[in-house]
Structure 1
Amino acid sequence: MKLAGKIAVVTGAARGLGRAVARLYAQEGANVFALDMLGEEVATLAEEAGDIRPRRMDVTDADDVATTMAAIEAEAGRIDILVNNAGIIFFKPVEEVSVADWDRLMAVNLRGPFLCTRAVATGMKARRAGAIINVSSNAGVVGGLDETTYCASKFGLEGLSRSLSQEFTPFNVSVNTITPGHPMHTAMSEVTYSEETRKIWKDPMELAPAFVHLALQDASGINDQRIRAWDMVQELARA
């Protein structure tokens, strides 16, 4: 029960890594608000573990984010942990990327974390406590073939996170980015991974303990770092 009494918000919680993190947070005692556009899918989380309160929310819609986050704070009293996990991907040569393609992916992958972080900022700063975890990718530091839009979004998320850490550190709030650090089995990877990579992929639940550890951090602990989840899980197992 490492997160007993904590109030956590996880975006993109209907499937994959977000669902695993929401489940483990609840198992560790947190009150979890699981948010996703896929309202019917995320609703099933309420039956799986602990105190999970699903909500449908569009991370790209500024009004929806502001209203939902305010409702959560009113219901729970605060938000201690924010996991910006929602993300999408596509693969296209740059000349085939439409403006609509670009805008949609950037809205989910970069605008979403900005809107959600902005919504929790005042409360976390006032309480001088909190942890913000932004789910990044190797594509946030290395370019990929036919991934111009996705890479740009994740490079942007890394920059956003580094800047936010400078802003939030004086208020004792940690801000970190995290990547899986190992191939994992999700709906996204079923489309993007080769047969060879699928042979070694991990269940997202195997990576989720790293998110628990980061949720326990404040500005004096792990902060302004880019974490590989699988590496952290192995280190925690050896500790």
Structure 2
Amino acid sequence: MKLQGKIAVVTGAARGLGRAVARLYAQEGAVVYALDMLGAEVATLADEPGDIRPRQMDLADADDVAKIFAAIEAEAGRTDVLVNNAGIIFFNPVEQVSVAEWDRLLAVNLRGPFLCVRAVAPGMKQRRSGAIINVSSNAGVVGGLDESTYCASKFGLEGLSRSLSQEFTPFNVSVNTITPGHPMHTAMSEVTYSEETRKIWKDPMELAPAFVHLALQDASGINDQRIKAWDLVQQLAA
């Protein structure tokens, strides 16, 4: 029960890594608000052990994000942990990327985390407590073929996170980015991984303990870091 008494918000919680993190947070005692635009799928988390409160939310809709976070604040009183996990991807040569496709991906992958952080910032700063965990990717530091839009979003998320750390550290709030650090089995990886890579992929639940550890950090602990989840899990198990 490492997260007993914590109020956590996880975006992109219907599937994959977000679902695993939401489940483990609840098992560790947190009240978890599991957010996803896939309303029917995220609703099934209510049947999992612990206190998981699914909510349908379109991360690309600024008004919807504001409404959902205001409702969480009214119901729970605060957010202690924010996990910005939701993300989408596509592969196209840059000349084949439409403006609408560019805008949609950036709205989910980069503007979405900004909107969520903006929503929890006043409370975290006032309480001088909190942990913000932004799910990044190797595509946030290395370019990929036909991934100009996705890489732009993840490079942007890395920059946003480094700046947020400077802003939040005086308020004792930790801000970190995290990547899987190992191939994992998700709906996204079913599209992106080769047959060879699929042979070694991990269940997202195997990576989720790293998110529990980061949820416990403040500015004096792990902060302003880019963490590989699999490496951290191995360290914690040693």
TM-score tier, shorter chain, comes to over 0.9
Give, in angstroms, the shift of residue 208 of structure 1: 0.2
- The corresponding residue for 1:109 is 109
SS at the partner of 2:185? coil
- The corresponding residue for 1:15 is 15
- The corresponding residue for 1:225 is 225
Q: What stretches of structure 2 of length at least 5 have no aligned partner?
A: none
SS at the partner of 1:108? helix
Distance in structure 2 (CA, Å) of the matches to 1:70 and 1:130: 17
User: 1:68-105, CA deviations, whole angstroms, 9 ceiling, x for partnerless residues?
Assistant: 11110110111000000000000001111010110000
Aligned positions, number: 238
Give, in angstroms, the shift of residue 67 of structure 1: 1.1
- The corresponding residue for 2:205 is 205
Distance in structure 1 (CA, Å) of the matches to 2:68 and 2:101: 26
- The corresponding residue for 2:76 is 76
Residues 1-239 of structure 1 mapped to structure 2, 5 A cutoff: 1-238=1-238
Equivalent residue letter for 2:118: R
Q: CA RMSD in A?
A: 0.4
User: 1:174-230, CA deviations, whole angstroms, 9 ceiling, x for partnerless residues?
Assistant: 000000000000001111100000000000000000000000000000000000000
SS at the partner of 1:143? coil
Q: What stretches of structure 1 of length at least 5 have no aligned partner?
A: none
List, as ranges, runs of 4+ consecutive aligned residues in structure 1 with deviation greater than 4 Å.
Answer: none
Distance in structure 1 (CA, Å) of the matches to 2:9 and 2:192: 27
Give, in angstroms, the shift of residue 4 of structure 1: 0.3
SS at the partner of 2:79? coil
User: 1:161-180, CA deviations, whole angstroms, 9 ceiling, x for partnerless residues?
Assistant: 00000000000000000000
TM-score in terms of structure 2 length: 0.99
Q: Matched residues, percent identical?
A: 89
